[in-house]
Each structure stands twice: as structure tokens, then as C-alpha cells.
């Protein structure tokens, strides 16, 4: 089981766009500088770094939930972390989580959906045929995003990605630098419980 611990929007400039978005392009938990390294929250942070690496993908559900719980006790409700199970393609949840939707993600920490498929200001400087195609993609696929800012079906996510790849082939770096073929649909499921979690870090 691949788990992500995510909160908020990692780029303050996108915060207004990220408000309903619950996909992979969000902030990971950090070190809590206010308390010593031997505190539980910081020992869990070092575990997170060690197991999660650059992508922040962990497998220990109990520790992930406890780390989120400790951080959430320090945060405003709108800024709280959640633990998500991420699955490739249309695979089912191993942890029985609540389905949120499909993101178009690269490496589980980037997304083509974090802006809600809104057109950027730079579109106006592109050739008119590219502008028209961008507008068509936005008009067709943005209304299909669910209240979490994600696609409800794998087919819709796949078709949108294919359209964006074709457009970027016509206009390099249109949506993202590099090759959009590194992106793929991933399913996201919220996991966790209501009861406080206790565990041993030894």
C-alpha cells in the first residue's frame, strides 16, 4: 500500500486555485522546529524522510496516521493533513479508503489538475489554433472535475491526458516542462479513522 501525507497547496501563488483540490500536488509534513528532535512528532518526521524519500510515499499506515494526527493538533482545520492511499491506474484500494478521484500525476508529487484546468495568462501569446484547442480542452474537461478537483472516472482522466499530450506536442512546454508522457492517471483514496492512534517508534 502506497500512502501520501498531504496538506494544502505547495505554491502560495496557486492557493486560490487549490482550495477544492485534493490531489497529489500538495505540501508534505515537515520538521516541527518548535520542539526537540526527540519528540514524537519529529521522530516521525525522520521516519517519514527515511521511508518516504523524495516522493514522500510511505507504507506504514499507523505511523502515517499518527504523524498527521500530531501535526493536525497544531494546525487550523483548513490546513490539516490527510493520509491518502495512491494507486496506479484504476486499481482498487488495499486499505478500504474513501475514493476521492483520479489525478493526472507524475511521481505522486506533481499534477496537471492542481489549477483546475484553468487557462493561464500566457495562452494569449500562443498561435490562435493552439489557443482554440486549449480553450476546447478546458471547456470540455474542467466541468468533469469533481468537488475534490479530480476526475471521477479513469476513462475521463485518460482521455484528458491524451488531449493534453497531443496539445503539448504541438506547443512544447504548454502545460508543463518536459514530457507529459511521464504523467499518468492515479486513483486517490482517503484512509484513516476517528480514534487517536498510539504506537511505538522503537
The pLDDT of residue 201 is above 50: no
- The answer to whether the CB of 2 falls within 8 A of the CB of 85 is yes
What mean pLDDT comes out for the span 55-61? 95
Decide if 149 contacts 19 (C-beta within 8 A): no
Would you say residue 51 has pLDDT above 60?
yes
The pLDDT of 50-63, averaged and rounded, is 94
Q: What is the mean pLDDT of residues 56-77?
A: 94
Q: Is the pLDDT of residue 202 over 60?
A: no
- 12 confidence band (pLDDT: 50, 70, 90): very low
Helix (H), strand (E) counts: the chain: 5, 4
Query: Where is average pLDDT lowest: 44-53, 84-93, 147-156, 190-199?
Result: 190-199
For residues 54 and 140, the model is more confident at: 140
- All three cell numbers of 90, joined, read 484504476
Distance CA 137, CA 159 (A): 10
Q: Are residues 47 and 63 in contact, defined by beta-carbon separation less than 8 angstroms?
A: yes
**In residues, how long is the chain?**
202
| Mean pLDDT on 25-53 | 95
- Kindly state the average pLDDT of the residues 48-72: 95
pLDDT at 139: 94
Give me the chain's average pLDDT, please.
Answer: 87
Per-residue pLDDT of 167-196, as tens digits, reads 999 888 888 888 899 999 999 999 985 433
Q: Specify the pLDDT at position 9.
A: 53
Distance between CA atoms of 176 and 131, rounded to whole angstroms?
16
pLDDT band at 71 (very low <50, low <70, confident <90, very high): very high
Half-sphere exposure (Cβ direction) of 129: Cα atoms closer than 13 Å = 4
Instruction: Return the C-alpha cell found at 121.
Output: 495568462
Amino acid at each position: 500500500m502506497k500512502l501520501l501525507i498531504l496538506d494544502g497547496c505547495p505554491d502560495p501563488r496557486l492557493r486560490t486555485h487549490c482550495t477544492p483540490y485534493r490531489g497529489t500536488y500538495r505540501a508534505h509534513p515537515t520538521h516541527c522546529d518548535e520542539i526537540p528532535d526527540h519528540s514524537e512528532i519529529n521522530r516521525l518526521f525522520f521516519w517519514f524522510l527515511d521511508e518516504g524519500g523524495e516522493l514522500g510515499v510511505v507504507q506504514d499506515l499507523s505511523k502515517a496516521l499518527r504523524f498527521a494526527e500530531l501535526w493536525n493538533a497544531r494546525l487550523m482545520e483548513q490546513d490539516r493533513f490527510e493520509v491518502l492511499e495512491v494507486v496506479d491506474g484504476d486499481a482498487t484500494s488495499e486499505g478500504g479508503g474513501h475514493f476521492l478521484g483520479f489525478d493526472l500525476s507524475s511521481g505522486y508529487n506533481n499534477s496537471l489538475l492542481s489549477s483546475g484546468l484553468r487557462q493561464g495568462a500566457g495562452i494569449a501569446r500562443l498561435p490562435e489554433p493552439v489557443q482554440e484547442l486549449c480553450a476546447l480542452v478546458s471547456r470540455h474537461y474542467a466541468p468533469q472535475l469533481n468537488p475534490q478537483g479530480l476526475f471521477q472516472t479513469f476513462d475521463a482522466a485518460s482521455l484528458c491526458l491524451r488531449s493534453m499530450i497531443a496539445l503539448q506536442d504541438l506547443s512544447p512546454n504548454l502545460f508543463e516542462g518536459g514530457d507529459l508522457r511521464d504523467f499518468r492517471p492515479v486513483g486517490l483514496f482517503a484512509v484513516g479513522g476517528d480514534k487517536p492512534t498510539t504506537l511505538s517508534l522503537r
